[in-house]
Amino acid sequence: MDRRHFLNTTVATTALSVAPNIFAASPLKVAVMIPQSGPAGLFGPSAKACAELAASEINSRGGILGRKVELLFGDAGLAPAEASQAALKLWKSGGAEAVIGMHDSAVRGALVGVFKGQVPYFYTPVYEGGECANGTYVAGETPQQQLEPVIPWITAERKLKKWYLIGNDYIWGRNTNAAGKNYILKTGAQVVGDEYLPFSVDNFDASVARIRDSGADAVLVSLVGGASVGFNKAFASFGLSEKVLRLGTLIEENTLAGIGIGNAKNLYSSSGYFANITTPAAKAFAQSYSKKFGPQAPMLNGLGQSTYEGFLMLEAIARKAGSLSVAKMDAAREGVNYNSPRGAVTIKSRHVEQDVYVADVDANGFRVVKTFSRVGSGQTCKA
């Protein structure tokens, strides 16, 4: 499919069935940039479903500033230059007045460059930190949230002495492991190895052999999607899962399904959301999702749910600002609170203070074993 045909055919508008007489103004079009192709396309269906659920629920309570939310979908699984052109089309030609983005950091950088603070942009997935652009608001977890409280706890809990770090060779993998290394050293444990792999690697035997030979009793895994699946399967095939702990910050339900329960002994994940969180808000969200999409619904997971989170941020800041203008939303954003399936959330420095959950894996999948309440992002955006 050529690029022009793609852009003309994948800008899909979702019309939501809400009584029209409750809305006082023209619809509010929101561009939703999610991976519909490429390696992260696995997360596209759940992100799309969560966006549709968010819009439906927001519209049922009167929309945003009295305006019915309508969704415009664009593919963020393309190369950054192409994804940014898709977003530009939704904004300038499609009439989008806000953007929700669940995609990688390279695309985020491209979109920030396109928007230049002229349209509110809500970036939702796990990421490496550091984004402070005007008009940009971040719902995703940072390494500080996922690792600073977790590494000391799990190191003490499991009496860990030697860590090995492995990640994909790009900004998120490297920055996550750099933060993790700092927290590990503060516990008195050692880092006995540190390596980064291109996304093209599909055989992990050499890496697993190095981990085995290093004497590590814990591994921080900062691999993405298929790379994480391949590595964790290889890790178990070497018999290391029986005695070496793994901790990941991007191992969610889809990735776990690929790894397989049988390969997940001593596997832990740190995240702001798991599908089986038992808080009332999380249970209500999961029930609403299941009711809306039925038994064939895409698997709920942290990345998909983060898209829903982006809509809650948009709704909350717009309500306080009384406007969708970036200037007014930027002025109003600090200290905005809202409740979500993740728990109570407060916006600080363009990021969020939120609960962080640590889960291991049993026969039924993830099992939350520790909750850290209201963890700050560690970001200090001044703008």
pLDDT in tens, the chain (383 residues): 443 333 333 444 444 434 445 777 799 999 999 999 987 888 999 999 999 999 999 999 999 999 999 999 999 999 999 999 999 999 999 999 999 999 999 999 999 999 999 999 999 999 999 999 999 999 999 999 999 999 999 999 999 999 999 999 999 999 999 999 999 999 999 999 999 999 899 999 999 999 999 999 999 999 998 999 999 999 999 999 999 999 999 999 999 999 999 999 999 999 999 999 999 999 999 999 999 999 999 999 999 999 999 999 999 999 999 999 999 999 999 999 999 999 999 999 999 999 999 999 999 999 999 999 999 999 999 86
Do 11 and 114 fall within a single domain?
A: yes
What percent of the chain shows pLDDT beyond 90? 91
Give the per-residue pLDDT at 25.
79
Within a domain: 361: no
Of the residues 271, 289, 307, the one at which a domain ends = 271
Q: What is the Rg, in whole angstroms, of the alpha carbon atoms belonging to the chain?
A: 20
| Per-residue model confidence (pLDDT) at position 38 | 87
Nearby residues of 213 by Cβ (< 8 Å), 6 or more positions away: none
Q: Report the alpha-carbon distance of residue 188 to residue 275 in Å, rounded.
A: 34
Dihedral angle of Cα 226, 229, 234, 236, to the nearest 10 degrees:
180
* Nearest residue to 187 via CA among 223, 228, 217, 224: 217
Domain presence at residue 341: yes
- Residue 44 maps to a domain: yes
* pLDDT score for 369: 98
* Residue matched to tokens 């940009």: 136
- Dist. CA 308–CA 319, nearest whole Å: 17
**In a domain? residue 376:** no
Q: How far apart are CA 42 and CA 326, in angstroms?
A: 32
What is the number of domains present in the chain? Answer: 2
Q: What is the pLDDT of residue 157?
A: 98
Is residue 288 located within the same domain as residue 252?
no
> What integer best gives the mean pLDDT of the chain?
94
* Global pTM value: 0.92
Q: Would you state the pLDDT for residue 103?
A: 96
Under DSSP, the state recorded for 89 is I
Among candidate residues 236, 271, 306, the one where a domain is terminated: 271
Question: Is residue 368 domain-resident?
Answer: no
Q: Is residue 205 part of a domain?
A: yes
* pLDDT score, position 383: 64
Residue 322's pLDDT is what?
98
Range of the domain at 60: 3-141+279-354
**Sign of CA pseudo-dihedral 56, 59, 64, 67:** positive
What distance in Å separates the CA atoms of residue 47 and residue 59, rounded to the nearest whole number?
Answer: 18
CA trace torsion 6, 7, 8, 9 (10° rounding) = 50
Q: Is residue 375 part of a domain?
A: no
Q: Is 274 exposed, middle or buried (0-12, 13-18, 19+ CB in 10 A)?
A: buried
122 and 26 share a domain?
yes
Whether residue 198 lies inside any domain: the answer is yes
Residues 266 and 199 in one domain: yes
